[in-house]
Amino acid sequence: MNYERQNPAFYALLITLIFMAVGPIVLMLANSFKLDVDIIGGTSGLLFLPTIQNYETALCDVLWYELDHLDFCSLKFGGAFINSIIIALISTLLTLVIGCMAAYALVRFKFMGRDTASLTTLMVRMVPPAVLLVPVFGLWNNEFCISKNSYFGEIIRDVFGGRGDVCLAGTHSGIILIYVAMNLPFVIWILQSFIIQVPRSLEEAARVDGAGPFQVFFLVVLPLIKPGLAAAAIFTFRIAWNEYLLASALSDRGTKTVPILIVNNMSEFNIEWGVIMATGMLLAIPPIIFTLFASRQIISGMTAGAVKG
């Protein structure tokens, strides 16, 4: 590729911008390796003795060895990480599987108008999570329940224990359901634009060779829309992984995700900066990795979302 030569001022601007964009993140990374004494008292420089103690404290409930600096493991970030991973992975997987089939049906069988997906995506994008929270909070706690006196309710209560009716609120599935619903329109819409590009003749050729509809879908279409799947997966995972509000309203003690614990610890009077930044860093790592490896897909997904409405 040919690059134009530019005067040094442009490079200075470029470097300043990079510094501004990444600075706060680097700062958090540096602080997560500092002891609280160094964060509060020490100079803001980069000269310090790095320690992984903060990470150990944050994950104390899932570590297999005893910690010397800690008498009692009060923070349960490890369990929260497991919850976060379960919820994010399952909801991403479900969204992709359901979204794929729906997008294929929309494109190939001309089911409903082609604009349906883009219009729904737009409408869902409009609804703030806080607004969705209101009815979902009521529904998940009251209506979407199995009575404890019914057959299934009794079985669930016998297996998992607890009192009262069996409700969606407080379970992993309750949170997963809402994430899948939130992300589906966008995923369908983005996959649809990829499926349209798969040439029909290819599918027909496969059909002539004796492939059934499922074989056509899994062996011909799916491999061709891999880039679209990757973009959709990243967007879905990111939302499920980062989301705080709905998760906080719908989870109970056992199903809290990491963002909830971070917010809870931030509202305490004495913030343990080191530990909380270590947790924040752990939460930020998956999105950072995605960005570094798939920035092109992410940018194209973002641009498409804006340009096509």
The residues in 38-97 that bind other proteins, with binding defined as CB under 8 A, are 39-40, 44
CA distance 233 to 253: 28
Q: Which is nearer to other proteins, 73 or 181 (CB)?
A: 181
Tokens linked to 132: 């969705």
Task: Give least dist CB 113 to other proteins, A.
Answer: 14
Task: Give least dist CB 31 to other proteins, A.
Answer: 7
Q: Which is nearer to other proteins, 60 or 103 (CB)?
A: 103
- Length of the chain measured in residues: 309
Task: Give least dist CB 291 to other proteins, A.
Answer: 5
Q: How far is CA 253 from the centre of its chain?
A: 20
Q: Which is nearer to other proteins, 136 or 229 (CB)?
A: 136
Q: How many residues bind to other proteins according to rule CB under 8 A?
A: 92
Q: Which is nearer to other proteins, 79 or 259 (CB)?
A: 259
Label residue 162 left, alpha or beta by phi (over 0 means left) and psi (-120 to 50 means alpha): left
Q: Which of 59, 231, 233, 249 binds other proteins (CB under 8 A)?
A: 249
Label residue 170 left, alpha or beta by phi (over 0 means left) and psi (-120 to 50 means alpha): left
Task: Give least dist CB 155 to other proteins, A.
Answer: 23
Print the binding letters for residues 144-183 with other proteins: x by CB under 8 A, - otherwise.
---------------------------------xx-xxx-
Q: Enumerate residues 188-207 that contact other proteins by CB under 8 A.
A: 188
Among positive and negative, which fits the CA dihedral 81, 87, 92, 94?
positive
Q: Enumerate residues 204-233 that contact other proteins by CB under 8 A.
A: none
Q: Which of 33, 189, 194, 241 binds other proteins (CB under 8 A)?
A: 241
Q: Which of 61, 157, 242, 272 binds other proteins (CB under 8 A)?
A: 242
Q: Enumerate residues 272-291 that contact other proteins by CB under 8 A.
A: 273, 276-277, 280, 283-284, 287-288, 290-291
Q: Enumerate residues 107-146 that contact other proteins by CB under 8 A.
A: 111, 120, 122-139, 141-143
Task: Give least dist CB 4 to other proteins, A.
Answer: 5
Q: Which is nearer to other proteins, 1 or 208 (CB)?
A: 1
Q: Which of 91, 92, 99, 256 binds other proteins (CB under 8 A)?
A: 99
Task: Give least dist CB 259 to other proteins, A.
Answer: 4
**Angle CA(157)–CA(163)–CA(169) in degrees, nearest 5?**
85
Task: Give least dist CB 184 to other proteins, A.
Answer: 6
Instruction: Answer for the pair 221, 187: CB distance below 8 angstroms, yes or no.
Output: no
